Structure 1
């Protein structure tokens, strides 16, 4: 196995390990470990993206930008806990816009009536949550409204990629919905809500990125000689 592919697979293994440690920290109340592991999620996904793709493409560039915004949301919110909601909403809003823009061309290539029908449940979930959480969001209402639209759009477009993007987008929608209930819906009580939020977010994010990587066929570890040989045959 080429070293670059071994490194790529190892990064996914490290990501799974960091997620397991983070969930353990949430269950045991180890706040310092929680705060130190969460900012590692996006950098590990960035490394997995960079080690897989040999050249920059539109999809990889948008995915990288989305991951950078996600890292900002995971990290900057810890530096300013008094503004955690505003920072998280704005950073992940930008991340969702990047992911939706990356997914849009894939949706246009594989339009399917069944996938189009997903707009109804996805939109219904987001609209229902927004209406329920509107009173509790206070001055953040415009940002929350924009985030809700971006979230529903990304989840809808994720169905047009592949099974990984579809599942990842749906888990992302689930995670954000539970987080919105925790933040803006008075009286909402979900057992182990922080665990479910972070587990669905981290797994969904990883599946979404893995699915976007899969849409780009080129890999760093693919033998260059085969591509060259194929080109010579075609030209002859």
Structure 2
């Protein structure tokens, strides 16, 4: 196995281990470990992306931008707890917009009717959740509305990509929905909500990135001529 592919697998393994440690820290309420592990999610996924793709493309650039926004959402809110909700909403809004732009060409090429039909309820879920949480969002209402629209669009486009992006987008939608309920819906109670939010977020985010990487068949460990030819076909 080429060393770069071994590194790629090792990075996925490291991501999985960090996620497991983070989820465990939520269960035992170890806040210090939570603060240390959460900012590591996006950098590890960035390293996974860089280790797989031999050259920069439009899709990989948008993925990188989305991951940088996600890192900001995971990290900056820790340094501004009084504005944590606003920081998280705005940062992940940027991530969702970048991922939607990356997913659109893939959705446009495939346009699987079944996946598109199954994705229609996503809009209903997001609209219903936004209406329920509107009163509790207060001054964050405009930002929450923009986030809800971006979330629905990303989940819809992800469903029309491949099975990995579809599953990842759905889990991302589920994670954001549970988080919105815990933040803005008075009286909403989900057992171990923080655990479920982070589990669906980390797994969904990883699957979304894996699906987008899969859509670009060129690999660093593949022969240069094959990788280049595949890239021309996909990106043209």
Q: Is there any run of 5+ residues in structure 2 with no aligned partner, and where?
A: 229-236
**Residue-by-residue CA offset, 1:15-47 (whole Å, 9 max, x unaligned):** 000000000000001000001000000000000
1:203 is the counterpart of 2:203: yes
Corresponding residue for residue 169 of structure 1: 169
Corresponding residue for residue 232 of structure 1: none
Cα offset, 1:224, TM superposition: 2.7
Corresponding residue for residue 76 of structure 1: 76
Equivalent-residue separation in structure 1 for 2:80 and 2:164 (angstroms): 33
| Matched residue count | 229
Normalising by structure 1, report the TM-score.
0.95
Q: Which moved more, 1:106-115 or 1:191-200?
A: 106-115
Corresponding residue for residue 31 of structure 1: 31
Equivalent-residue separation in structure 2 for 1:129 and 1:225 (angstroms): 49
Q: Which moved more, 1:176-185 or 1:113-122?
A: 113-122
User: Secondary structure of 2:54's partner?
Assistant: coil
Corresponding residue for residue 233 of structure 1: none
Cα offset, 1:86, TM superposition: 0.1
Corresponding residue for residue 91 of structure 2: 91
In our comparison, the structure showing a higher alpha carbon Rg is: 1
Equivalent-residue separation in structure 1 for 2:61 and 2:120 (angstroms): 30
Relative to structure 1, is the Cα distance of residues 227 and 147 closer, same or farther in structure 2, using a 3 angstrom cutoff? Answer: closer
Where do 1:16-165 residues align within 5 Å? 16-165=16-165
Normalising by structure 2, report the TM-score.
0.95
Relative to structure 1, is the Cα distance of residues 4 and 113 closer, same or farther in structure 2, using a 3 angstrom cutoff? Answer: same
Equivalent-residue separation in structure 1 for 2:225 and 2:178 (angstroms): 49
User: Secondary structure of 1:202's partner?
Assistant: helix
Relative to structure 1, is the Cα distance of residues 227 and 176 closer, same or farther in structure 2, using a 3 angstrom cutoff? Answer: closer
Cα offset, 1:118, TM superposition: 3.0
